[in-house]
Structure 1
Amino acid sequence: MALSCKHPHLFNHIRTFVNVKVKWVQDPYLDNAVLKEKDLKQTISLRNQIISSPSKSLSIYTASQLKASLNLPTTTTKFVDKYHCVFSQFQPGPGLPPVVKLTPLALSLHKEEMAVHNSPINREDTVQRLARLLMLAGMSKLPLYVIEKLKWDMGLPHDYVTTLLAEYPDYFDVCVVEDPSSGKELLALELVSWKKELSVSEIEKRAISLGYSGDKRRHDIAFPIFLPKGFDLEKRVKTWVENWQKLPYVSPYEDAFHLDSNSDQAEKWTVAILHELLSLFVSKKTERDNLLCFGECLGLALRFKKALVHHPGIFYISNKIRTQTVVLREAYRKDFLVKNHPLVGMRYWYINLMNKT
């Protein structure tokens, strides 16, 4: 898609943000939003393995073999014992190895979660967000390993390939792409056709709701900025941010690779992609490595790294839970999401169950 511009001097704006180090300041509320989900993804992943088994149970030996792939923080036995309200062990017979299964409460929660996944409203929402994810990729194709990395953040069902994609042939197709680094063929997910009605970013929707339209909207869209208490930008950084916010907004669904990659305008487009990507996630956050993996597919990994550091009022990087997690600041008030997705509500119930003594 060619990007038309009535103000070329603005779109070719040179980079003015040079050699300025923006300090990182801890945000205890957003750190807590991340900490609350400690071991949650691993718990759900182990649950999925148990549910996928024909007997709805796994021997402890089999479960132990999954420790690395599930990224468990300790041995499987210790993990199962720690979250005894989610998992239970039993001896199927004399001399046989212990078996782990879900507790009645966990099984009940799983059924409720499946009802959320299968509800028509949520299925349509999931399909549209997945389509927009592919549209953000520009070429409308993403290797399946990238989808797998983002599956948790997107709120996709565990078995989404067979239970979701197959039912939307007018949206998705599985194809083969070549890995540019290795030359090997990879399975990828392809958007069958561009969905113009979906190519409006969340921040554009907000601007439209305020009455902006046409080219005027490009110049009036600024990113919401939320800085934590005690955080003060240097004067020259503050001035740069104010001028940068006044640059035209370029939709993340538009091709803006013609812009000078070192320009402020190109950085605003990069921030627009990151902002929209995080907006597509059910909890408006993800591991930094996941963003960079997506960025590599677009050839924007280095730009992603710089943008995340340059804009602490838009993105927060938490160092909790043995990783770095990028949080979209505007999506949270203190440590709570402003708008809860139904799946996030289900995850909170799991957290409650995990924390029961």
Structure 2
Amino acid sequence: MVVGLRAGRPNHRRSPYFQGQIRTFIDARIKWVRDPYLDKAVKNEKNLKPLLSAKNLILSQPSQTLLLSAISPLKPKLNLPTTAIKFFQDYPLIFRIFRPPIKKSMHFSHPHVKLTPKALCLHNDESLIFNLLHYKMDVAERLAKLLMLARAQRLPFFVIEKFQFDMGLPHDYRLSILPDFPDYFSICEMGFKDSNGLEVFGLELVRWREELALSSLEKMVKNEGRMRSRIRFSMNLPRGFDLRKKVLEWVEEWQNLPYISPYENAFHLAPNSDQAEKWTVGFIHELLCLMLAKKTDKESLFCLGDYLGFGMRFKKALRHHPGIFYVSNKIRTQTVVLREAYKKNFLIEKHPLMKMRYKYIRLMSTVMRRGRPIRNIVMKRKRPSSAAARMRKIKENSSKWRE
């Protein structure tokens, strides 16, 4: 059932472009080429999401400790890549496994896990960011823009929460964010039931907010004083990626098509037309711009696309435009990355919460050796000096002469 295509509010903008656009794309094979820099950017965040989920679970307990055996059944929910005990042992500067003593006894209880002082310090700094009014406003606006991308201006919670981590929503955002913005959001029934026969609830935008209905590309063009109709997507193909001439010619013509904002309704366009594809690419581009690290996993992206009725359009857009989007196969999933947001493997504009997450990553990449923390960096073999190389060559020649 596609419920994301219900009519929007009366003031929702409808694209004026006619439906008769034809498909001119040459169905040429576009190969996937690995981008080591963007792969590294994705790999750097390996296990960060399950680690923060486990951290929040532990700190939600009154004692801020948790029985290790109680975490093991939650492995699928936390998305732990290994057993709970091994996961916590892999990050000794964040988690500490211990056995609390039993009162009035010399014995110790079962293993528990808690956060280290360094991890607690990071969590406290992170909590300060979550509690800032400026940050809450930023979250509310990005969440509102996500709802505005849906034509009905509402989405079920199961779809929103697929982007919860990537958007930087607090784990308790329903309690810590939504009540502070009654003029933005209301909880609603979605009008259908889940597989268990239970009513599905979601989030609805109270009213269309025209001041937010401006995409990141439109903002950029407006700041530069250029015409909106001349919007072109930034393309950055990796080394070794050569598009065939006929594909390059099509891309150039496609770039010159009028830009349709993702906040406009362009479902009336012929689904297989070039104009519809440019609108779809703009939709994915804007969605990735709402994410803190300008990336999200492909499964979540396709889930939203299917819900809104895009069907195969998202898949085609990713395949046809490798200079705009990159799909990485690292960390046990496929991650869609917005190329223009990165310079090599570095995120160009860092959100305050992303800066905090990078601090967690640095702590995760630090290991203990002989009781001392060291960065877990693979040391390159030291190349011998030219003098040492000449000496080795002399020894090899002398051994040949003796033979």
Q: How would you bin the TM-score normalised by the shorter chain?
A: over 0.9
1:69 counterpart = 2:77: yes
Counterpart contact for 1:12–1:260, Cα < 8 Å:
yes
Counterpart contact for 2:194–2:200, Cα < 8 Å:
no
2:190 aligns with 177
Counterparts of 1:140 and 1:18 in 2: how far apart (Å)? 35
Query: Paired residue for 2:356, among 342, 346, 351?
Result: 346
Query: Paired residue for 1:36, among 32, 38, 44?
Result: 44
The superposition leaves residues 152-181 of structure 1 with CA deviations (integer Å, 9 ceiling, x where unpaired) of 010011110001001111001111113488
In structure 2, the residue corresponding to 1:88 is in which secondary structure?
strand
Counterparts of 1:17 and 1:178 in 2: how far apart (Å)? 38
Counterparts of 2:228 and 2:193 in 1: how far apart (Å)? 37
Counterpart contact for 1:293–1:301, Cα < 8 Å:
no
In structure 1, the residue corresponding to 2:287 is in which secondary structure?
helix
The superposition leaves residues 52-94 of structure 1 with CA deviations (integer Å, 9 ceiling, x where unpaired) of 1121111001111111111111100000111111100111122
The 3 A distance-change label for structure 1 pair 356 and 244 is same
Letter of the 1:324 counterpart = Q
Query: Paired residue for 2:156, among 139, 143, 148?
Result: 143
2:88 aligns with 80
1:113 aligns with 126
1:198 aligns with 212
The superposition leaves residues 272-307 of structure 1 with CA deviations (integer Å, 9 ceiling, x where unpaired) of 100000000000001000101111221114111110
Letter of the 2:159 counterpart = V
Post-superposition offset of 1:230: 1.8
Moved more, 340-349 or 117-126: 117-126
In structure 1, the residue corresponding to 2:34 is in which secondary structure?
coil
The 3 A distance-change label for structure 1 pair 86 and 179 is same
Counterparts of 1:153 and 1:196 in 2: how far apart (Å)? 25
Query: Paired residue for 2:117, among 91, 94, 104?
Result: 104
1:163 counterpart = 2:173: no
Counterpart contact for 1:172–1:189, Cα < 8 Å:
yes
1:223 aligns with 233
The 3 A distance-change label for structure 1 pair 354 and 254 is same
The superposition leaves residues 73-124 of structure 1 with CA deviations (integer Å, 9 ceiling, x where unpaired) of 1100000111111100111122521110110100110000011111122111
1:51 aligns with 59
Post-superposition offset of 1:149: 0.9
Query: Paired residue for 1:3, among 1, 11, 14?
Result: 14
Post-superposition offset of 1:184: 5.3
Identical columns (%): 53
1:294 aligns with 304
2:285 aligns with 275
In structure 1, the residue corresponding to 2:366 is in which secondary structure?
coil
Counterpart contact for 2:285–2:338, Cα < 8 Å:
yes
1:236 aligns with 246
Counterpart contact for 2:213–2:263, Cα < 8 Å:
yes
Counterpart contact for 1:137–1:297, Cα < 8 Å:
no
The 3 A distance-change label for structure 1 pair 243 and 69 is same
Counterpart contact for 1:170–1:192, Cα < 8 Å:
yes
Counterpart contact for 1:12–1:265, Cα < 8 Å:
no
Please, what TM-score do these two structures have when normalized by structure 1? 0.95
2:390 aligns with none
Counterpart contact for 2:66–2:113, Cα < 8 Å:
yes
Post-superposition offset of 1:138: 1.5
Counterpart contact for 1:178–1:184, Cα < 8 Å:
no
Counterpart contact for 1:133–1:277, Cα < 8 Å:
yes
**What is the aligned length?**
350
Please, what TM-score do these two structures have when normalized by structure 2? 0.84
Post-superposition offset of 1:32: 0.2
Letter of the 1:234 counterpart = R
Counterparts of 2:89 and 2:140 in 1: how far apart (Å)? 37
Moved more, 289-298 or 277-286: 289-298
1:60 aligns with 68
Query: Paired residue for 2:339, among 302, 307, 329?
Result: 329
Counterparts of 2:205 and 2:311 in 1: how far apart (Å)? 22
In structure 2, the residue corresponding to 1:58 is in which secondary structure?
strand
In structure 2, the residue corresponding to 1:306 is in which secondary structure?
helix
The 3 A distance-change label for structure 1 pair 108 and 2 is closer
Post-superposition offset of 1:189: 0.7
Give the superposed CA RMSD: 1.4
1:319 counterpart = 2:329: yes
